[in-house]
Structure 1
């Protein structure tokens, strides 16, 4: 876990919003045709008013920080929260501060 990389990723409110929506994908991405067990397809975030390039940049930052994992099926990439990393970060933050 790279605390600095995570803090950089969380410094942007859109990335926090993406993580919040990924916490309950059924509530936010019910229109997705693929099963949500795979994660949320990057294209689903465009419904949030973001361009494809903006979505890609935000998801890449979250992935670099280890906050999301990816799963590729065909041409689609699906994203899920990495709950283990998020929990470790929150525990580290709680003990450090």
Structure 2
């Protein structure tokens, strides 16, 4: 199911509203998925999205010269 925002907040010490904002950003980027359970939102990794990001980085860095890497 995933990890509840309140658990992330407790572990990080960051305000719950800030955690929610960060997690929403990660969800829009395709790196996590959310599930609503009552008044709580649970997040889990989106393995396909993470794999796409890794492949994009690998292609960019793998084919880049030093100047291209610095711009990343």
- TM-score tier after normalising by the smaller chain length: 0.7 to 0.9
Name which of 87, 92, 96 aligns with 2:51: 87
TM-score of the two chains, using structure 2 as the length reference: 0.75
TM-score of the two chains, using structure 1 as the length reference: 0.58
For 1:73 and 1:63, locate their aligned partners in 2 and report how far apart those are by CA, in whole Å. Answer: 17
State yes or no: 1:54 paired with 2:18. Answer: yes
RMSD of Structure 2 on Structure 1 (CA): 1.0
Q: Match for residue 3 of structure 2?
A: 40
Runs of 4+ with >3 A deviation: none
Q: 5+ unaligned residues in a row in structure 2: which ranges?
A: 62-72
- How many residues in Structure 1 have an aligned counterpart in Structure 2? 60
Q: What SS class does the counterpart of residue 14 from structure 2 fall into?
A: coil
